[in-house]
Structure 1
Amino acid sequence: MNALNLHNLSINISFGLLFMSMLSYWSSIAFYNIKVFSFLAQKSMITSNMILFFTISIRWAESRHFPLSNLYESLLFLTWGITFVNWMLEIRIKSNLIGSLITPLATLIIAFASLSLPNNMQEATSLVPALKSNWLVMHVSVMMISYAVLMVGTLLAILFLVLSQELNPISKKQNQASIAASYAKNKIRLLESIDNLSYKTIALGFPLLTIGIISGAVWANEAWGSYWSWDPKETWALITWLVFAAYLHSRITRGWEGKKAAILASLGFIVVWICYLGVNFLGQGLHSYGWIK
């Protein structure tokens, strides 16, 4: 089996495992008494993460440069990052809600990378001159990890908004019943945990985003003679930074929590995707090597 077939096989296996993990997470919530669904969900997600790490490592060894030189490679790295964050969160908090939310996103990303992108965009190619720098590993990897962490944190905020909408009518209509009161109490505890976890996750992703932007500015000065050129990717990176800076500022200094903070964090989910993928549809600017034709 040659390297290309091995690569395709590993990607297909990763996709299949993530899809099975997604279905298992959903089943574990629908049929919470059947423990095998939780076991299958977690083991499938972890195995897929490890296979993706193996695939990225092999691609690195073959191309002899860090495999983040095009959109396809960055999508694989992003999927690995998201599933890794999911893995770490589940070690801390034993809840299938997180996986049921994150695995669909990871499945869609790897499906888009392997099924939608043309073969010529999936091939490992030599680096363009601007990327032939030691800053490639520092800047691009940190930015991609920050995207993964921030996406997970904002998804948790969206989950908070969905669950909080479900809680209100039940607590208002049946707040006199003991069963409803117990349900509401447990739901409030869950909401507090999700809100706190979302905040901590975003608080971790924000400094990574900051480091990524700063390192990118230094690299840009070396490559193009300017720290900042208002390239579309640079502009949206700044907008993303400002959105999450506003979120953290509102939580730390204004005491925002709950719905108001979650709404702002949910906006960050859209902004991150525009910064990462949306500007690639433009095919313009200094980062055009990652465009979508």
Structure 2
Amino acid sequence: MVDISLTRIYELIVILYAVSVLLYFIDFVQHNRKANKVAFWLLSIVWFLQTIFLFLRMWETSRVPILTISEGLYFYAWVLITLSLVINRLFRVDFVVFFTNAIGFLIMAIHTFAPMETQTSVEAERLVSELLIFHITMAILSYGAFSISFVFSALYLVQYDLLKKKKWNKRLMRIEDLTKLDYLSYVLILIGVPLLLLSLMLGLIWAYIKVVDFHWYDTKVLGSFFMLLAYSAYLYVRLRRGIQGRAIAIWNIALFLILLINFFLFGSLSNFHFWES
């Protein structure tokens, strides 16, 4: 009965999430500030409910709930909402919350409706350690930073297209200038890369200590190191080659799409990332 009630509450969260994203879309298309305000409050309710369940799960398990793919998706969605609300509060960049939480809604919907294992296996409980917790937490935080960086790059391309076509409308005025969008996208990758590097270092240490059949050629290991190299290359060409603007924004969007493949596909093919299967 309790599991059924929790499922219904999760479904309610997804519904509220969907309405919020829909209202943000209406604001994006029609410049409806009232829809924007209602969407913000609905999203705040979603964040509040997600935070309550996150801490309840932490209290129940005495750990950060990120050891299964279901828990990881939930935490990922929570990170996206949190970061989008904080960034919107600090920088007041219109449409960032909409695009970020369109991704977050997709993640939350997969978490709620996909037939995934929600309880951590006995083996995972046995192998869990603070090292593993830090590894997964830092990885998800880096993914959150890369996700919002992607949103800024997408907004950059939208603004660039509007300026190129000389569409001087309200949407153009509400999106930040190209320089700021480009800079914020860069800063978030600058934060995400060291987080991902530290996560991989901790994960390798944990694997060597705990995993008997650890192999360097595991798909998730190779995919994660590829992402680290790809985002590091982004920083290199930006800092040393001075490449900015539209070209680097397209590069960032392509990197994020590869990141999603690494998160979903390579995780399912991994031999020892049992918490993601």
TM-score, normalised to structure 2's length? Answer: 0.89
The one of 205, 208, 219 aligned to 2:192: 205
- In the alignment, structure 1 segments of 5+ residues that lack a partner are 172-179
Specify the code of the residue in structure 1 equivalent to 2:273: H
Partner of 2:273: 287
Shift of 1:123: 3.7
Kindly name which structure, 1 or 2, has the bigger radius of gyration based on alpha carbons: 1
- Pick one of 250, 258, 264 that aligns with 2:237: 250
1:83-140 deviation digits (Å, cap 9, x = unpaired): 111111101222331122112111111111111224xx13454452673222122111
Q: Which residue of 1 aligns with 2:220?
A: 233
Give yes or no for the alignment of 1:61 onto 2:66.
no
Q: TM-score scaled by structure 1?
A: 0.85
Q: Aligned-pair distance for 1:54?
A: 1.4
Aligned residue type for 1:91: R
Unmatched segments (≥5 aa) in structure 2: none
Q: Larger relative contact order (C-alpha < 8 A, sep ≥ 6)?
A: 2
- 1:8 matched to 2:11: no
Q: Deviations over 1:170-215 (max 9, x none)?
A: 37xxxxxxxx5x9899589622222111111111111111111111
Letter of the 1:231 partner, please give it: D
Q: 1:145 aligns to what?
A: 141
Which deviates the most, 71-80 or 146-155? 146-155
Of residues 57-66 and 126-135 in structure 1, the stretch that sits farther from structure 2 once superposed is 126-135
Cα distance, 1:230 vs. partner?
A: 2.5
On the 8 A contact 1:63/1:125 being kept in 2, the answer is: no
Residues in 2 aligned to 1:188 and 1:105: alpha-carbon distance in whole angstroms: 19
Q: 2:85 & 2:207 partners in 1: Cα distance? A: 34
Deviates most, 233-242 or 162-171: 162-171
Greater shift, 162-171 or 149-158, is seen at 162-171
> Matched residues in 1 for 2:181 and 2:50: separation?
28
- Superposed, which structure 2 residues align to 1:1-293 within 5 Å? 2=2, 4-32=3-31, 34-118=32-116, 121-123=117-119, 125-128=121-124, 131-170=127-166, 190-224=177-211, 229-282=216-269, 284-291=270-277
Name the aligned partner's letter for residue 107 of structure 2: I
Correspondence for 1:176 = none
**Structure 1 vs Structure 2: percent identity of aligned residues?**
20
Aligned counterparts of 1:202 and 1:59: Cα–Cα separation in 2: 30
Aligned length: 277
